Amino acid sequence: MPDYKLGTNCLHAGYTPGNGEPRNIPIVQSTTFRYETGEAMGALFDLEAEGYFYTRLQNPTNDRVAAKIAALEGGTAAMLTSSGQAANFYAIFNICSCGDHVVASSAIYGGTFNLFSVTMKRMGIDFTFVAPDCSAEELEAAFRPNTKAVFGETLANPALTVFDFETFAKAAHAHGVPLIVDNTFATPVNCRPFEWGADIVTHSTTKYMDGHALTVGGAIVDSGKFDWTKYPDKFPGLCTPDESYHGVTYTERFGLGGAFITKCTAQLMRDFGSIQAPQNAFLLNVGLETLPLRMAKHCENAMTVAKYLENHPKVTWVSYPGLESDPNHALALKYMPNGTCGVVSFGVEGGRTAASKLMAGLKLASIATHVADAKTCVLHPASTTHRQMSNEQLMAAGVSPDLIRLSVGIEDPADLLDDLENALAQL
Ligand SMILES: *Cc1c(COP(=O)(O)O)cnc(C)c1O
């Protein structure tokens, strides 16, 4: 395919219909695929031939949508997962085993924090969390001889901290490990982490990529830039033969562009099976087609709402990286000059109790444990998504107990401001 721009790739990348074929990516609703001989299928099992045999590992619908996401991020390979949680788990577990260690920004999604600090810790993988704005010395001190990756979020959910890619990429690469970035909130429309030194990108496609709150899903994209073969002792899974696949060495057989995703599919998808349903991949693809249009509108509306809130006497603080007053504004301009996302966080006079009252007073914005879809919704993380965290952990993640997370949709902004005005008047 020619080198099209992102907006064109949102419609056309990943799938080129042949003569007389469907214009939309077909839903291949089949668990299994038929072969003429046992040998033909055997070659697939040995990763000697390309093809499909069982949808738990790969499905053509998913692969086409994944290829589109790879094109949008500027990566060499991608895979879909059943959720964003699965994507982040796979991305790390693909290169970390029991006894390994990861340096992660503390400003990350609550679910990811729990996955790392509780569940993956039980698997023997240790995480050191550092403040997103920590000094070079603090960052340096977080590394250990067994560190295998650095992890961050482009725009932290819900703190909206902007990840300083260059600082973290530099530290990661100085230690011979890849930088993995969750790019869910910015989407490749607003930020392409590979251009700033990230090596692997993950997504919860549940958010803006789907964009209509229809499907839970995730994606992992490889830049193909990280040279695992320079550190064979650190990454034996990629650089030495995999006995569970007849001795294939992923970096040798699939090159730097394909090794990470092939290993992740062949081992982790095979063994954990967190595949995305082809139906969901189809719906995700419909969302991807309009991603640039929606992101622009989300950002425009969020900016309007953030400015309105900033000037409201009952609002004590507003966090939106697009605001000039925001501490993350300079980083946002550097990494996301066209806009950040549609999520705005704020607090109101009267703290926690007033926050619940405000939410109850909103009519157009629905209370939902969700963000980043077309319809405006609102959430109080301290009593829902982040309730497992202590106050100290909340503060480290940039989530104050009174934080209200408003996910601004693509409605007419005048109606959104009216809704807020009415609810604020009731406080
Ligand atoms: C929602 C979210 C996740 C988890 O994704 P699911 O699809 O809900 O599993 C991970 N990272 C970020 C930044 C998110 O917003």
Reported confidence tier of residue 393, pLDDT bands at 50, 70, 90: confident
Task: Give the per-residue pLDDT at 1.
Answer: 64
Q: How far apart are CA 159 and CA 170, in angstroms?
A: 24
For residue 194, give both structure tokens.
Answer: 């590979």
* Per-residue pLDDT reduced to its tens digit, 243-302: 988 899 999 999 999 999 999 999 999 999 999 999 999 999 999 999 999 999 999 999
* Per-residue pLDDT reduced to its tens digit, 312-369: 999 999 999 999 999 999 999 999 999 999 999 999 998 878 888 898 899 999 888 7
User: Ligand 1 in contact with 152 (CB < 6 A)?
Assistant: no
Task: Give the per-residue pLDDT at 392.
Answer: 79
User: Ligand 1 in contact with 376 (CB < 6 A)?
Assistant: no
Task: Report the percent of the chain where pLDDT is more than 70.
Answer: 99
377-381 mean pLDDT: 88
Question: What's CA 323's distance to the chain center, in Å?
Answer: 23
Residue whose CB lies within 8 A of the most ligand 1 atoms, among 157, 161, 201, for a mutation test: 157
Could you write out the DSSP letters of every residue in 162-175? Answer: BP-HHHHHHHHHHT
9-17 mean pLDDT: 97
Q: How far apart are CA 165 and CA 340, in angstroms?
A: 15
115-142 mean pLDDT: 97
Res 370 pLDDT > 90: no
Reported confidence tier of residue 402, pLDDT bands at 50, 70, 90: confident
Q: Which residues contact 5 (CB under 8 A, 6 or more apart)?
A: none
Alpha carbon nearest to ligand 1 atom 2, residue: 204
For residue 254, give both structure tokens.
Answer: 């699939």
Alpha carbon nearest to ligand 1 atom 5, residue: 84
Ligand 1 atom having least distance to the Cα of 85:
9
Residue 191 is classified by DSSP as -
Residue whose CB lies within 8 A of the most ligand 1 atoms, among 90, 105, 112, for a mutation test: 112
Task: Tell me the whole-structure pTM to 2 decimals.
Answer: 0.96
Ligand 1 atom having least distance to the Cα of 153:
13
User: Ligand 1 in contact with 218 (CB < 6 A)?
Assistant: yes
Task: Give the per-residue pLDDT at 102.
Answer: 98
Res 391 pLDDT > 80: no
Res 387 pLDDT > 80: no
User: Ligand 1 in contact with 84 (CB < 6 A)?
Assistant: yes
Asked whether 186 and 336 are in contact (CB, 8 A), the reply is yes
* Per-residue pLDDT reduced to its tens digit, 97-106: 999 999 999 9
Task: Give the per-residue pLDDT at 178.
Answer: 98
Alpha carbon nearest to ligand 1 atom 6, residue: 84
